[in-house]
Structure formats: C-alpha cells, structure tokens
Structure 1
Amino acid sequence: MSVTVSTHQRPAVCGRPSTAMPRAVSTAADRMVACFMDALAGEVTSELARAAVPAVTEHFLDCANRVAAGRDRPEGFPHLERTAERWARANVALELVLHAVHAGFKTGIDLLCRPPDRISEPGAIDGLGARLQLVVDLLDRSTTAVTMAYVRNMRADAQPHHTAAHTLVSALLSGHATSAQARECGITMAASYTVLAVHIPPPQSNPGNVVVARRALRRVQAELATRYQGRALALLSVDGGTVLLPRPEHDDDGDDLDELIAKLSEAGRIPVLAATLTAERGDIPEAAEHAHQLLDSVTRLGYPSGVYRFDHMALEVQLSRPGPARDSLAALLAPLDGHPELTELLRIHLGNNMNRQSTAKHFEIHANTVDNRLKRITELTGLDPVTGDGAWMLRSALIARGRAPGLPPLPAST
C-alpha cells in the first residue's frame, strides 16, 4: 500500500502552510505517511482517522526540522494527542499505532540525522550524537502523547462500566437486582453465580502503607479484569470484598477457583484468601453472608492463601461462631495457658492424626517425650488426646480459640 499527499490538500502545521515546508520535509512526510498507512492497513476504518495521518506526520517532521535548525522546541504534541484520541475512538489497536509511530521514525531518521537546510542559523543542532538525542527525545514525546491519549480514552470508557458494575453488584448483594437495571448498566446477568468472599491482607513489606495496599488492590483488580474480560462483578477494597463470577449454563465443574486465587495472589504479591459458595441469582445475599462467615473463620484460624469451601470447613465455621458454646469449648484449654509448649504440641499432634513419630520429628524430640507431654496434657485438662472423645473435644477447643490443629489442609477443588 502506498499513500502520497498532494500539496494542495496539506493542512497548516506549526502555524504555517505546509507548502512552505522544506522539500526534504515534504518528501520525508510522504514516505512516513505511506509507512504509517502500511502499518495500519486494514485496521483504520474511520475516514477521520485516515485523514489525520498526513497532518500528524507533517506536524512532527516540521517540528523536528525547526528544532534541528535551532528554532523553537515544542512543549508537546497536542495535535498528535487529539488524533490519537480519534484513533482510540475508532478502535484502532494501540500496538498498531505505536508500531506505526516507530516505523515512521525509522523512515524519517535520515532527515533528522543530516544537516538542516539552514545549517548556518544560530542555534542549529549539528553532530550525529545531538541529532540522535533529538530523535530519541521526539520519539519519547510522541509515544507518551499517543499512549496518554489512549489511556484517557480507556478511562473514559471504563468509568461508566465500572460504575455500572458497582451498581449491579450492590443490587445483586442486596437482592434488588432486576433485568431492566442490568440492561441499563449494559451488563447481562447470569442465572447463577459463584460467590467469592475475598480477604486481601496488608502487604508484608509495608503493612501500614495505604499507597502500597492500593497498588496491590489495583494489581488484583487488573488480573481479575483480564481473566474475565469484564464479566466478573466485584466490590473490592484494600481489605477485600465480594466477587460474583457468572456461571455458564451446563457447567458442572465451574471456574478453576484455586488457579484464580493463585493468580490473584501472584499479581497482588500478597496471599489472597477466598471462601466460596454457588448460588442462584436470587440467593446471592444469603450466599454472600455465609461465604464471609466462612472467610472470617479461615482468617481467624490463620489458614494460608487459597480457596475454602463450606463442605470442607463446616465444623470450623460452627465452632468459631461467637456464643456460649464457643466460650465453653475454649475454656477447656485454660489449664494449658501457662504451658504454651504443650498447647503447640497438642495442635501439631492432632494435625498429624496423632502420629507420635511425626510429632516427634516435627519438634526434633524423642517419641517417648511426646508420650510424656501428652500425659501431662491429660493431667491438666482431664481430656486424653489419645482417645477419640478426648481428641475430638481438644480439637474443638483449639478451633474455638482460633488455633487450627496441625498444618491447614489443602483446599480441595470442586
């Protein structure tokens, strides 16, 4: 594809008619326009965007020529920014535009690296090094102008969707979402959703820094948006929140939530925890409440990053709920308050399914020492961890105190 620009069609650039530009600029502009249009061939469907290419090209080259000759250096490229905004609205891919910009620079670099028409003018830039620095500077400014124009357009497009998504997810969580509301938001509601209660812990590197926490949140949100292409409905803060994932019809396996949380943790550089339930659209409020109850139990017990489900954590949820029953269970371990080493041994031993050899290896002690400490626990609490009833009561007491027995189990996939 080859494109040339006739002289009578050229607009004014840099405040003067383009016909007044040096012939070298005009020739290079024609070559750069052709290069631009070749790079964007088949992608630029807007006539407005296509017509802007020659003007932007000549604008850049004329400014470059004026600067090289020692005249005024432009503060920015407002014309290029406005044109890039038109490209963005015409859905021209940013990578293609940047490719075109760089391709144009390659074509025009021979002009910028040889003496200007009026090398004798005061302040003219001479020397290959200085001219290459000029090329890099102009390329930096041009790339920044194009990218910022696309970013502004993206933000303008994303803000209504972001607000609409927040409105819809709030309505779903309150049980007041309607199909009409969803259509007004431009979002199609699913018949059922995977409800995720999400906990985002403070960044370990700087737990009190709100700026660092917000950056982690933005990385998590970006990963979520990339993975679900805007289909995920989320209400998230720096501490976490709720995410609703639409469930496709005839999908028995659902989303790979374990992989999702692993990716969110990797993106945010923080150990994200989540509790999940599936629910029909009308049951979302109740499901979200139960999911957050499970999440509270998981975080209180100190479980690691992962996805936790009710069918594997029902006992922990029930035993950790506030009330007289929990207080009574927690009181069973009061006699061990002055013996933290016994409490820790009990926790690990119950987590090892009462395997004395595994417990001994964990603490690097003899198995007989494990037996002696278990007997001491029995003397103090009146409950024998070797028996089924005693082990069950002691395990429940540990959970009531927020101490998960042993190492947390791996969250099972559904």
Structure 2
Amino acid sequence: MLQLTVLREQTEHVIAGLNKKNYKNAAEEVAALLELDQHRRQVQSEHDELQSKANSLSKEIGMLMKNGEREKAEAYKAETSELKLKTKALAEQQTALEEEIQQALYKLPNLPHESVPKGRTAEDNEVVLQHGEIPQLHEGAQPHWELIQKYDIIDFELGNKITGAGFPVYKKQGARLQRALINFFLDEAMKAGYEEIQPPILVNEASGFGTGQLPDKEGQMYHATEDNYYLIPTAEVPITNIYRDVIVPTDQLPIKNTGHTPCFRREAGSWGADVRGLNRLHQFDKVEIVYITTPDKSYEALEEMSSYIQGLLQKLELPYRVLRLCGGDMGFTSALTYDMEVYSTAQSRWLEVSSASNFETYQANRLKLRYKTESGKTQLLHTLNGSALALPRIVAAILENNQTPDGINMPKVLHPYLGFDKIS
C-alpha cells in the first residue's frame, strides 16, 4: 500500500508511476484521495481543538467549585458536555474518513521502479538475457499433453471426474517426478540459506490484504465463505504474513524463507494451446522463496534471487530467458519483476516458470512490517518473493525438450531423487 506522505509530498511522481502501470484515472483518483486526506486532517484539527478546550474547562470547573462560583461552574459543565458531544461526532467522522482513505489506498497499485520499461502488454517486456541452446527434436516429437497420455503419467480426465478441469492427477513416474522436483527445489533453497517453512494453505482476510491479493485478486481466489478463509494462490501469502505487525531486530535481517505448497487459482482460461495440458491449472505445486531486508539492500537481494532461480534452470538443463516486465504487464504489488521463461521446443514457445519481484515498502506498509534503525527510528522493511520454482510448466518443458523416440530422458540432477533416469 502506498504511503499517504508519499502521495502528499511526491504527487506528480505518484501519478507518473501509476500512468506507467497504465492505471486508469490516476490523476483524478490521487486528487480525490488527497482531498479526502485534507478533509480528514481538518476534522482531526477541529476535534483536537475542541478536545483541548473541553479539557481546559474541566480543569477550571474544579477550581470554580472550590472558590464557590457554582453558577459559572455549572455553565462550564454544560459547555463541556456540548463539546464532548461535538468531539464524539467528529471522532466518528474521522474514523469513517480514515476507513474511506484506507479503502482508496488499497485500490492503488505499487509504483514501478525507475528501471521498469514503458509498455502495455507482454510484447513490451525487455529481454535481459537468454541462456542455453534450444534442443533439436526428432521428427514426430509431441507436446507434453500427448506425451503424458502416451506414458500414462498424468490423468486430466480422472482429475476432472474427481474435481473439475484444471485439477490433474499425477501418477506412476509422473507423481515421482513431481516429488523429485519439490525435494530438489527445497534442498537447493536450504543450501542457499533459505529456512524452510510449511505454512497453512488457507489464510484469513487480513493475510490476503497484507500481501495485496485482496482486494485486487479477490475474484481469482477460491473462497471458503462460511469461515471467510481463502485458499492460497502462492506460499508468498502465508509466509510473508508470519511477519505481519512485527518489528524485526536488525540482527535477524535478512530473513530468507522457502516453502512448498499447493497453489490455487480460479483464473478462467481461454481455449487453445496456451492453456492446454499443464500450461494453466487451477491447482499446482510450487516452491516459493521469500526475502525480507532493509531498503538499501533490496535490489541487491532481487539480483541474488534472480541468479539463484537461473541456477536451478541451469541445473535442470533447460534453455531459458529473463525478462524485465514493462509497466503494463507487472503485478499489482510489484515495483520491479523479473520473469524467467523456459523454452518449450515441442510447442515452439516460451513458458513463464518464475517471477521474482521486489515490492519495496508496498506490502510492508500493509503488514506493518518494520525494523529499527541505528538511531532508534522505526522504518518499513522491503519484501521480495520468487517462484523457485512452479512445477507444471517445468514438467512440461522437461517432458517436451528431453523426449526421444524410445522415452523421455530425465535431467541428471534429478536422478538421485527419482530412482530412474528415463520415463518409458
């Protein structure tokens, strides 16, 4: 959530940033919000003035009574009672205005970092680097949705029977590949200094607001309405909310956590190759990394996370590229995002498998996540997170890129986890 002080003191900067994210009516909404804030401050000033006057009269009443000036004391009592009624009404008005301001702030996205390129769609994203050779497949190579049927390792029809579309059943070597990837990703994260967390996969409304999924992504989250809990879209939500309303001692920074969870997203997909097979699911597994640090070190941390995620892709022997997302393609809460995409040779397209983002103080302001500087001043921390990695498209790329006429070769790094080196 953006800070009101930033809106007041850097209004044109805020409007320019919102415009870079292609946020509609940025100038009008910022102006309306600042007008609300001005009204709130006027109400607060009037409240404080009347409260101070009431307090002064209350002190004088005792002295008047002591001096025998009963009539004047009674007049002061009546005036004090009237002032209390007015201050109560002003306090209620102030509370209502604060809630209105809070809801308006919730609707504003984070401001993009200065390095974020301008643009509206994925075509405007900037390619930072590309790594690895795209494999040449044999004649008759198939996309992963054909391969999984051929080798009977994932069953979409069975998942549809049990739940619905987008909830596949992994079985046989497919289930073992899932487990191998999860364990590999967790082991690598712990080697890199991330502490493993196994969080709940249902979160309350406060957690959803804390990391910015609510109200922005409310329609995309599965909602258990009776208890008002939400199924998580990513482990980022419960792990980051561990630190809600916390002042972190500086000797505990940076905080680096990792966790594996299933993830749930209602997002309705269109028809076609973009959403076939494992390309887009309603439930999928992901290993997440969360990084919390001081503002002066957060962009260094983002580069560290990006390099770490790239290292995983290199170990899996997958060709990939790194994109810096443009303003129009960035997430609501992000200040800067790198997307990692692997090349799916059978589909002849790039598949996003990870996003690493710096949210700066946006989430921390919602979470009230802070630290104390050496001078004793309390300041907001910066939060970051990244997929390390999301499984479905990694599995799709492994299957497609490593297929041969007599089976699918597994990346060498997974052999100790799998117990086999080929799906056949």
Using the size of structure 1 for normalisation, the TM-score is: 0.25
Rg larger in structure: 1
Q: Decide which structure has greater strand share.
A: 2
Using the size of structure 2 for normalisation, the TM-score is: 0.25
Q: Decide which structure has greater helix share.
A: 1
